[in-house]
Structure 1
Amino acid sequence: MIIMSLKTKATEYLNELKHKWLLLQNTPKVFGYNLNVTKSRFLPGNNFIYMEYNPERTRLRRVPQTIAKLRQTFNEDLFNFKKINPPELIMKIPYENTDISLIINKSPLTQFHTLICPDVAAGQPQCLTPLALKFSISFLLNIADEKKAFRIGYNSPGALASVNHLHLHLLYITTDLYVDKAELQVLKGTHIYRLSENMPTEAVCFIFKKSTDDEAFVVQLQKLYNFIVWLCDHNIPHNLFLTPTRNERVEDTLKVFVFARKSFCYVKDLNVCNIGFCEISGYVTVGDEHLFESLTEQQVITKIKDETGNVYKEIYEYFAQ
């Protein structure tokens, strides 16, 4: 079975990715810059927000596209991952009658920052598919990662997606983040939760366990995908953040957070704190040193609240059905 194949080979793929990524980081003219995070800190407060200073990303990243609709048609003429330079492709993983391309992020946020791009040749817009979700969840559940540091994130159009070609971000973050410690409460059934009302922000969280059999896994995956389709149907931009449970006493578990946005937003100024899947999960990178030194936890939380608003009332009604 395909699921079993990824279960047995995920760590092998990861080791190859790490080896090639480090080689490419030392190869001239492949990355936009060599990753050099010079400062990091938790913002004073309740340790909800971890921040890193990464000035090169602000100066040297590709100019983000403006994607006007959640289901924006793919445009061959704009930048897309068919246009990358050949050295940027780390590897292709055969998966369910297609290939998953692992491509370096030329402007990395973290070590091993890689783009997960299903079936690049098909020219799929930045709209999640069941296959993209299935691969990403299975991959994180089955890699051998003692630090539980590999995470996957996704920005929809209108929620800071910068390229309208289907991709997710694989990141390596060794620090505990807000979502790793956030209190959850049951929303529906045995594996769908929300952030507790004691938490300063809101999200829906789907729980996946490595021990789940294939049939139950597919059922859980469909519920997650149905919710994402509902968000798209209701024109609600969204971010996803996939993170393993970092408690060694708990069985291998993956938390898939879905964050909803009340309106479309775009990257207009790279020198401010833009709220994408990283920031809304508690991991903030900035390229402006003054901003790094002056930003407060409450300012970040207030901005997250401003961009999510009261959209969750309708979402909780969806799960009450």
Structure 2
Amino acid sequence: MLSPKQIPTFFYDTKDFNTTVKLYKEKESLFDNVLQQMWKQAQEAKAFRYILNIRSSKSLKGKYKFLVQLNPERAQSRRTPESITSMQQSFNSIGFNFTKLTQQEILFDIGNSNTNDVIAINDSPLEQSHCLVLTERLKCLPQIMTEYSLYKVIELCLLSNSWSLRATFNSLCAHASVNHLHWHLYYLRHEMLLEYIDLSSFTSDVHLLINYPAKGFCLKLSSFKSIQNFVSQTFLVVSYLQSHQIAHNVYITRAKSRPSDDLYNDVRIYIWARKPSFGIKDTIAFIPAVCELFGHFSIKDENVYNNLTEDEVSNVLNDITHEDFLLTKDKLKHFLEK
């Protein structure tokens, strides 16, 4: 076990939150600077399985502007994912888990300096400053979202002054690779459709994402009077999926009102109910987890990268979300309104 004294602590307050940020014009916050600098130091210390090398990047032709990146090292060098067979799978202390991280891998504490809440590197990075947010790490909780972890991640997103910081969560049976509670945090400096796509009304607080291949639910910070209300209502949706053992993915992004806006004045949380991952065939050589549902694809094979089309991607996203969206929608609305 690492000594708390070995890990620096990042202290913050609500006055450090940035509710509005500007496109490509950000003056990075202290949080951004610390996160990026310590991530680079870990890279220099060779704490990663490989040096991030996105060999090529492009937007697919079509109306969804899917972002596709060629990153073969991630597929070749990453740790073998844990075998997940159930939404109720218990934590396994014998295999790899986040209590076994080295000091090089933990960047800093984001709690009370006891190394229970920390930010650590993802040693197989997808993008720049790709990290893991590990809340209540020493409790050895399985990969089942807690309201506390969601609140902590929202706070970290608001500490950033960058429009490009994103946070993601894969549930069990939705391509979570380690059954130990964690979120992903990374910078994606590409404008994405789901930052501003039109949504349909559902309940007073929850919206529907339907004009997109991956059908799902969305909550917006601007719909709530406080961060706590935003988190509580979001967690209510997630807890419904958890209690009914429905696999799900969650993506948090800055958002704006119109495509042409430079000002990001909102935060959106997308929630997808989806087919369980053990039942999905990897037919076009990408793993349809949370980033892919958002429109960000990491491709391992150059031939696939060169030939992938919007129609192929759309078909996969629709296949893994459409049925569960339809099965969940009305029951979830009844649950929320009750």
TM (norm. structure 1) is 0.89
2:168 — aligned with what? 153
> Residue 265 and residue 99 in structure 1: after superposition, are their counterparts in 2 closer, same or farther (change >3 A)?
same
- How far is the alpha carbon of 1:200 from its aligned partner? 2.9
Q: Distance in 1 between matches of 2:288 and 2:158?
A: 26
Pairing partner for 2:153 from 124, 129, 136: 136
Asked whether the equivalents of residues 17 and 155 of structure 2 are also in contact (C-alpha less than 8 Å), the reply is no
Per-residue CA distance 1:11-52 (angstroms, 9 max, x = gap): 433321111111221223x11111111101111222431100
1:18 has 2:36 as partner? yes
1:87 pairs with one of 82, 104, 107: 104
Cα distance between partner residues in 1 of 2:42 and 2:282: 29
In structure 2, the CA distance between the partners of 1:300 and 1:119, relative to structure 1 (3 Å rule), is: same
Query: In the superposition, relative to structure 1, how do residues 6 and 106 fare at CA in structure 2: closer, same or farther (>3 Å)?
Result: farther
Secondary structure, aligned partner of 1:301:
helix
Deviations 1:268-309 (A, max 9, x none): 869811100000100001111111111111111101111123
**What 5-or-longer segments of structure 1 have no aligned partner?**
none
TM-superposed deviation, 1:217 = 2.9
Find the partner of 1:305 among 312, 318, 321.
Answer: 318
Does the aligned pair in 2 maintain the 1:267–1:274 contact within 8 Å?
no
Matched, 1:205 2:251: no
CA 1:251–1:56: 2 relative to 1, 3 Å: closer
> Over residues 138-181 of structure 1, what are the superposed CA-to-partner deviations in whole Å (9 max), with x where a residue is unaligned?
22123212xx0100011001110000000010011011123124
Corresponding residue of 2:16: 8
Q: Would you say the 8 A contact 2:216–2:321 is kept in 1?
A: no
Aligned-partner Cα distance in 1 for 2:56–2:311: 20
AA at the equivalent of 1:16: V
State the match for 1:62 in structure 2: 79
SS in 1 for 2:97: coil
Match of 2:296 in 1: 283
Map 1:8-47; keep pairs closer than 5 Å. Answer: 8=16, 11-28=29-46, 30-47=47-64
Counterpart of 1:235 (choices 245, 250, 253) is: 245
Partners of 2:279 and 2:184 in 1: how far apart? 18
Matched residue of 2:288: which SS?
Answer: coil
> What is the CA–CA distance in structure 2 between the aligned matches of 1:186 and 1:230, rounded to whole Å?
19
Give the match for residue 48 of structure 1: 65
Q: Which residue of 2 aligns with 1:220?
A: 230
2:252 corresponds to 1:245: no
Instruction: Indicate if the aligned counterparts of 2:31 and 2:159 stay in contact, CA closer than 8 A.
Output: no
In structure 2, distance between residues paired with 1:95 and 1:279: 34
The verdict on how the C-alpha distance between 1:314 and 1:47 changes in structure 2, with shifts beyond 3 A counting, is closer
Cα distance between partner residues in 2 of 1:251 and 1:292: 31
1:78 is the counterpart of 2:91? no
Report the residue type matching 1:288 in the other structure.
D
Q: 1:266/1:127 Cα in 2 relative to 1: closer, same or farther (>3 Å)?
A: farther
Query: Equivalents in 2 of 1:51, 1:251: separation in Å?
Result: 23
Question: Which blocks of at least 5 consecutive residues in structure 2 are unaligned?
Answer: 1-10, 19-28
- Which amino acid counterpart does residue 226 of structure 1 have in structure 2? L
Query: What code does the residue aligned with 1:79 have?
Result: F
Query: Per-residue deviation at 1:249?
Result: 6.0
Identity of aligned residues (%): 28
Give 2:4's aligned residue.
none
Is the alpha carbon distance of 1:103 and 1:266 closer, same or farther for their aligned partners in structure 2, counting shifts above 3 Å? farther
State the AA in 2 paired with 1:154.
Answer: F
| Distance (Å, rounded) in 2 between the aligned partners of 1:130 and 1:96 | 21
**TM, length-normalised to structure 2:** 0.85
- Structure 1 residues 261 and 70, CA gap change in structure 2 (3 angstroms): same
> Which residue of structure 2 lines up, in the alignment, with residue 163 of structure 1?
178
* 1:267 to 1:303, Cα distance in 2 relative to 1, 3 A: closer
| Alpha-carbon distance change, 267 to 36 in structure 1, aligned in 2, over 3 angstroms | farther
* Superposed displacement of residue 95, structure 1: 6.0
Match of 2:207 among 168, 175, 193: 193
Question: Aligned residues, how many?
Answer: 311
SS at match of 2:251: strand
Residue pair 1:66, 1:266 contacting (<8 A) in 2 also: no
1:106 CA displacement: 0.5
